[in-house]
Structure 1
Amino acid sequence: MGAVYHEQSESGEVDAVVTTVPHYLHPEMGIEALKRDIHALLEKPAGVYSKQVKELNEFAASKPDLTFAIMFNQRTNSLYQKVKEIVDNGEIGDLRRANWIITSWWRPQSYYDQSAWRATWGEEGGGVLVNQAPHQIDLMQWICGMPKKVYSNVKYGYQRDIAVEDEVTALFDYGDGATGSFITCTHDPIGTDRFELFGDKGKIIVDNSKKVTIKRLVKSEQEMSDNMTMMEVYNLVQGGDTDEMYTEEAIEFESNWQEQHPNVMRNFAANILVGEELLAPGAEGINGVTVANSIHLSSWLEKEVELPIDEDLFLEELNKKIEAEKAAN
């Protein structure tokens, strides 16, 4: 594949590439394309480990006239664009907590058995954190920002005959008192997709990536705490009328799943042709990779890790997994 790729990229007939190749090759092929003044759209994830993605970003920065994007197609979902807008404009105030349960990535054993590269450290670079969940990891950091510390409990080959992770629970510390949790797996056929964000002025609840409910407090939580009488508190906790406490707005969005990938492609082309702003700039791909790396590293070291993580230590631990996998086979 390498020889064919280099031959094609040096033909002078290629204007842009999309890297639909194994994860480890995403940064390498991105750099090779940019070297030849070819625009690059990388599939997610941007890479397996942040050190190689950092090299890609540094090289891309030296080619500012080229378009460098990443296939975070769910950023085109108007629901998540709306959620980001509400958070960014301060409607729910300062973020205190964010929780995402995304266990609707069910995959049977046959899914993993169909290709030898799937669910391997050496070929895929991990499990649900690098294959399915990068979508939600990206959206969570896009909306909430990057955590400062991560602690995780990860199960490897928990319910599937694989070496990599199929069950993940991660706790995020955003450094300003705000916390987050991220739960995902590939063994729950019923599955849940629920994203909650709570701020001092309200709450956002997203169900199944289709419906968003916004509850806006009439007074901030701190004002309520400072001024409510115990009688008012008692009435509230006993199921009293909440109409005077918050307003509620529910918005349902039609699924645009089939349009998401084409929309990223159109946006990529429009940026090349007319300078349209990118929905998912390639340089932002490192954020999700860093979060996934921190979740893995925390579980391997069995302790909380700070971001940015020790990239050399992560790569050292990853290589141990790869060598153990080779020895087992």
Structure 2
Amino acid sequence: MNEVRIGIVGIGNMGSAHAKSILAGNVARLTLGAVCDIAPEKLSWASENLPGVPQFSDYHEMFASGLIDAVLIATPHYLHPTIAIDGFAAGLHVLTEKPAGVYTNQVQMMNDAAKASDRVFGIMYNQRTNPQFQKIREIIKSGRLGECKRLIWIITNWYRTQAYYDSGTWRATWAGEGGGVLINQCPHNLDLWQWMFGMPTRVRATCHYGKWHNIEVEDEVTAYAEYANGASAVFITTTGEAPGTNRLEVTGDRGKLVWEEGKLTFYELAVPERETCFTSKEGFVTPEMTVHDVPVEGEETAHNGILLNFTNAILDGEELLAPGEEGICGLTVSNAIHLSDWTNDWVTLPIDSDKFEAMLNERRKNSHVKEHAVSEIADLRGTYNSRWSVR
């Protein structure tokens, strides 16, 4: 192989953007082999905007066509694992949009299918291409920050209007999306949290459902997490504040990293805080420190960067920046936050996946997805046509 032919399942907002970019030649050695969507209007759009690209309304037919080597999944969330599993069974390499899925049981099945195959499996965690987040992770992993003590992420610049939520009958419903700000806007942040700082051991959280909008899922979340070494994390997010904030602080024994408005600052202590605490003879002391504006090389390559890395992994064996199997990590934190709120209790990780799935299914049964929504997405209660059935 000297190129990868990729097929896209789902050509809505993200799928169509990927299709146009690939067709324009923005990703070296990656070509658009075919597209698939169940909506006739999406296929009409493809006829006008993707000239010469074969179209399918059944992804199984696209998988069996011989036209593609890999698949990019850009469908509603619940369908990601099902289509990925079918892709591996068809011998295809798989790249899925975020989130990996809605609940960890289905994502674990997807990961098992990936492990049993010899195919490349990636996830569209394009924020991992941001050199500033890479630098934060590098400083933490190198030990330069010392023993980690606390992470605080206020991410409230996800502002959405009621018109946004009204734009699709499946939006902001348990049956349609499987959640609100956690599952739709924040998968990248939750992934970066654990990618940089590690997975917590337990979570306590509060979610507010339809607090700022006429929706049934959460639009405001405050979560507190603890780690085995005594460190803690606080995560605050909402789609109902303006102006919003996007500020990340990571504190360790040797200083503090602050990222806000595209600027990364390192407050580096001359002496570790723990040493100062137990050796200083003064009760009130300001530890000596140096403030660095951390230089960061490179530019964020975003979605095309992940697509290029995925292509290079298939053709050259390049290491994946965002392995698909890691999608379960951020989702586990998301599920833990929901489960903590639903049970009004601490949730220990790894979570009780069966308990979470059962409680989610109760919400899906009572979801307010309108009946005609099945024309927009697969019936996520499992009664849609068998082409896109949910397992």
TM-score, normalised via structure 2 length: 0.78
Which residue in the other structure is 2:72 paired with? 18
Q: Secondary structure at the match of 1:234?
A: coil
Task: Give the conservation status (yes or no) of the 8 Å contact 1:101–1:184.
Answer: yes
Per-residue deviation, 1:91: 0.3
User: What's the % identity of the aligned pairs?
Assistant: 45
Per-residue displacement from partner, 1:123-169 (whole Å, max 9, x unpaired)? 11100000111111000000111111000010000000000000000
Q: Which amino acid in the other structure matches residue 221 of structure 1?
A: E
Query: 1:113 pairs with 143, 151, 166, which one?
Result: 166
Which residue in the other structure is 1:289 paired with? 331
1:37 maps to 2:91: yes
Which residue in the other structure is 2:294 paired with? 251
Task: Give the conservation status (yes or no) of the 8 Å contact 1:149–1:175.
Answer: no
Which residue in the other structure is 1:239 paired with? none
Per-residue deviation, 1:253: 5.8
Q: Secondary structure at the match of 1:268?
A: helix
Highest relative contact order (Cα 8 Å, sep 6+), 1 or 2? 1
Task: Give the conservation status (yes or no) of the 8 Å contact 1:46–1:70.
Answer: yes
Partners of 2:299 and 2:331 in 1: how far apart?
25
Which residue in the other structure is 2:281 paired with? 229
Which residue in the other structure is 2:255 paired with? 202
Per-residue deviation, 1:14: 1.3
Which residue in the other structure is 1:47 paired with? 101
Partners of 2:96 and 2:361 in 1: how far apart?
24
Per-residue deviation, 1:327: 9.4
Q: Which amino acid in the other structure matches residue 253 of structure 2?
A: D
1:313 maps to 2:355: yes
Per-residue displacement from partner, 1:220-257 (whole Å, max 9, x unpaired)? 11111122232xx5363xxxxx6xx1111113669956
Query: 1:182 pairs with 235, 247, 255, which one?
Result: 235
Note closer, same or farther for the CA distance 1:84–1:327 as it changes in structure 2 (3 Å cut). Answer: closer
Partners of 2:298 and 2:59 in 1: how far apart?
36
Task: Give the conservation status (yes or no) of the 8 Å contact 1:169–1:183.
Answer: yes
Partners of 2:224 and 2:178 in 1: how far apart?
22
Which residue in the other structure is 1:86 paired with? 139
TM-score, normalised via structure 1 length: 0.93
Question: Which sits farther off after the overlay, 44-53 or 195-204?
Answer: 195-204
Which residue in the other structure is 1:172 paired with? 225
Structure 1: which 5+ residue stretches go unaligned? 237-241
Partners of 2:369 and 2:249 in 1: how far apart?
43
Query: 1:270 pairs with 302, 308, 312, which one?
Result: 312
Per-residue deviation, 1:183: 0.5
Partners of 1:204 and 1:90 in 2: how far apart?
13
Which residue in the other structure is 1:325 paired with? 367
Task: Give the conservation status (yes or no) of the 8 Å contact 2:175–2:369.
Answer: no
Q: Aligned residue pairs: how many?
A: 317
Question: Which sits farther off after the overlay, 74-83 or 5-14?
Answer: 5-14
Per-residue deviation, 1:292: 0.4
Note closer, same or farther for the CA distance 1:327–1:82 as it changes in structure 2 (3 Å cut). Answer: closer
Per-residue displacement from partner, 1:258-299 (whole Å, max 9, x unpaired)? x30111111111111111111100000000111100000000
Structure 2: which 5+ residue stretches go unaligned? 1-37, 39-55, 372-391
RMSD: 1.8
Per-residue displacement from partner, 1:282-318 (whole Å, max 9, x unpaired)? 0000001111000000000011110111111101110
Task: Give the conservation status (yes or no) of the 8 Å contact 1:31–1:59.
Answer: yes
